Chain A
Amino acid sequence: MKKTFTINISGQIFNIDDDAYEKLGKYLNAINSRFSNREEGSEIISDVEARIAELFRERTSESKQVINMKDVGSIIEIMGEPEVFSDEEPVENNEFQSEKEEKPFKRVYRDPDDQIFGGVCSGLGAYFGMDPIIIRIVFVFLGLVFTVGFWIYLVLWAITPKASSSKEKLEMRGKKINVSNIEKTIKEEFENVKSNFKDMKKKKPYRDARNFFDESFDNMGHSARSVFKIAIFVFGIALVVTGLFFIISFFATYYSENGVFSLGFWSSDSYSLASALEAVFLSSNVTMLFLGLFFLIGIPILSLIYGGIKLIFNIRGKNRLIGSVFLIFWILGFIILAVVGISEGKNFRFKGKDIETHVISGLSSDTLCIQMEADSLNDDYFSLSEHSFNILDKDGERIVFGRPKISVSLSSTNKYELIIKKRARGKNRRNASDNSAEIQYSWEIKENKLILDQYFFLLPEEKWRKQELEILLKVPVGKSIYIAPEMNEIISGAYNKPGVPVEEIAGKTWVMKDEGLSLVLDTVGVD
């Protein structure tokens, strides 16, 4: 008595012996693999199966209801070996064929029918053809004496598949089929036959696998795209936030002391950019300047924001108009700055000066003490150029001032001479010279002291035109001067014997000789 399978070929039902079934399965698989990668493959395969069904039909009858090995063999003869099915060059079919059929096929499985823990030992037993008990003893020994046996067992359990289908169970034992073992799992195998043939009927096992990978990559692609979209969204928000931040700071700090664009941000003293500009430029120009700066700096930032918004809301499409508008305004900003720069620059073209000469006489002693007035401005101020451009906001009023420079030289007469040189720029000579005359500076002579103001000032409505003040003190031969230490900062030069650096002039008393100042005393102050 033999066991049969019920199979379905091309919609026809046949009963087939189990060994014939195996042979037929291999044959059909081989043909499948030839065509699974071609478009018309499925059509060819269904044609072939239809023909096989026809041939089977001819070989079954009332008296012979089951397809046997002989039938399958003759069908293979009639249809041809799998190689002839393809259009490709005929392979030397002999070796190929024998390799596939003859080699006994054995694989390591775990045997679920004889398992204590995982069926590892019985599976190994089936593979090696020995009683699992021996293998179990070996494992126990390995496990107890060397704990590694336990781990080996676990690893084998994990990596060895369970022989669940009858095909796998056959493979576990090799080509030898043990009927009693098969009888144990009759029900299981019926199920397996159905599903196996269904797979064969699908005719594209490999294509399915490929579809699976395609789909998973597709899904991965989808998720990658989603992640990418989210990232873009976040980036877009970041851009918008940054852009807004810059724009707001630009505005806010243009007019206040704190912030990115205020002058104080980059130095220790703070003052607002707007006020500083107002000191230099006409108010109208300041507005223009602001506009120009805004365009120049703001437009790129605006385009960042715009880009960010586009990313956030996933707006596609390059709106050329917006881009051109942005570009136009940016260039406009450039132009504005250029125009303002040029027109204001005209204000500095010409130089002018105003010179006052004062003769100092009636001193109470032979030594003239030169010192500075105490600092009248106690607050922090912003200084762009110590000797020329400093700004301070005092009681709401803007004060522009500078430090004078002082130098000492030889007097051509026998009197002390104080020469105040005021310098400024202007848009023409007259204007320049007027500007220089309007520099405010005071000093006084008290007993034997020449007290100089620390700063010169601009009149409140005066714009800064590179005003400078230079004090030249001429000392006659034989007279001496004492230069107070605080003068150190504004001494720019003294007519003296070479070798004395400017820094070391202050805080000492000097006497004027023919060849220049010469050190008298190194003491602190003759009061």
Chain B
Amino acid sequence: MNIENVRAQMRKGVLEYCILSVLSNKACYVSDIIKTLKESEMIVVEGTLYPLLTRLKNMSLLTYRWEESNQGPPRKYYSLTEKGMEFLVEIDKSWQELVETVNQIRKSN
């Protein structure tokens, strides 16, 4: 177990949250989501994203439509559903609580 693995584990937990957050700002192409997450160094490789996107879609938190592209195959254009919005609000709360709790524990030492 090296530090990269620990990091990867931590990131994995919040990745879905991050996807939802990115989409809450505006609807995006998959590649845009990837770009945003890469810029903030949330993900290093793209492969992790695809199963998560599909799962979130199957949970009806996301939806997509196909957009034609002049540079190749049609692309998926994702957006957050209403249910996704509500879900995100809940997760926001949980995230806040988690951050506070962890900081609490750190400070107490």
Q: Chain A: residues with CB nearer than 8 A to chain B?
A: 10-12, 31, 35, 40, 43-44, 47-48, 50-51, 53-54, 57, 77-82, 84-87, 90
Give Cα distance in the complex from A31 to B50, angstroms. Answer: 12
Residue-wise, chain B 35-61 has the 8 Å CB interface mask toward A (1 for contact) of: 000000000111110111111001000
Which segment of B20-28, B67-75, B80-88, B98-106 sits at the interface? B67-75
**Contact between chains at B54 and A85 (CB < 8 Å):** no
Candidates A12, A48, A53, A57; contact of B47 at CB < 8 Å: A48
Could you list 9 examples of A-B contacts with CB < 8 Å?
A: A40-B51, A40-B54, A43-B54, A51-B30, A51-B50, A54-B71, A79-B45, A85-B47, A86-B51
Query: Is residue B5 within 8 Å, beta carbon to beta carbon, of the partner chain?
Result: yes
CA distance A80 to B45 in the complex (A): 5
Chain B residue contacts of A11, Cβ below 8 A: 73
Contact B46 A57, beta carbon cutoff 8 Å: no
> Does B89 touch A at the CB level, under 8 Å?
no
- Contact A90/B9 with A44-B54, A48-B50 known, Cβ cut-off 8 Å: yes
> How far, in whole Å, are A90 and B7 apart by their CA atoms in the complex?
12
Interface pair A80/B75, CB less than 8 Å apart: no
* A53-B73 contact given A40-B55, A40-B58, A47-B30, CB 8 Å threshold: yes
Q: How far is the CB of B103 from chain A (nearest CB, A)?
A: 27
Do residues B45 and A44 form an inter-chain contact, with CB atoms below 8 A? Answer: no
Tell me, yes or no, whether B31 is within 8 Å of chain A by CB.
Answer: yes
Q: How far is the CA of A138 from the CA of B12 in the complex (A)?
A: 60
A85: B residues at CB distance < 8 A: 47-48, 50-51
Besides the contacts A79-B46, A79-B47, what 4 more A-B pairs have beta carbons closer than 8 Å? A50-B76, A51-B50, A80-B44, A80-B47
Nearest A residue to B31 by beta-carbon distance?
A54
Contact: A47 with B71, CB < 8 Å?
no
Residues of A within 8 Å of B58, CB to CB, are: 40
Q: Is the interface of A mostly helix, strand, loop or mixed?
A: helix
Contacts of B14 in A (CB 8 A): none
List the B side residues contacting A51 at CB < 8 Å.
Answer: 30-31, 46, 50
- Are B54 and A12 touching (Cβ within 8 A)? no
Contact in complex: A12, B73 (CB < 8 Å): yes
Inter-chain contacts of B5 with A (CB < 8 A): 90
Least Cβ–Cβ distance between A374 and chain B, in angstroms: 107
Residue of B nearest to A58 (CB): B71
**CB atoms of A57 and B76 under 8 A apart:** no
Query: B48: which A residues are within 8 A, CB to CB?
Result: 80, 84-85
The answer to whether A50 and B45 have CB atoms under 8 Å apart is no
Bound form: Cα–Cα A54–B46 in Å = 13
Please indicate the chain A residues that have their CB under 8 angstroms from the CB of B8 in the complex: 90
Give the nearest-CB partner of A93 in chain B.
B5
List A contacts of B12 (CB < 8 A): 90
- Which A residues are CB-close (under 8 A) to B30? 47, 51
Closest 3 CB pairs of A and B: A80-B45, A80-B47, A85-B47
Closest to B47 in A: A80
Most A CB contacts (10 A, CB to CB) among B12, B31, B47, B52 go to: B47
CB-CB nearest in chain B for A54: B72
Give the complex CA separation of A10 and B58 in angstroms: 22
Taken together as a complex, chains A and B put the C-alpha atoms of A12 and B71 apart, in Å, by 10
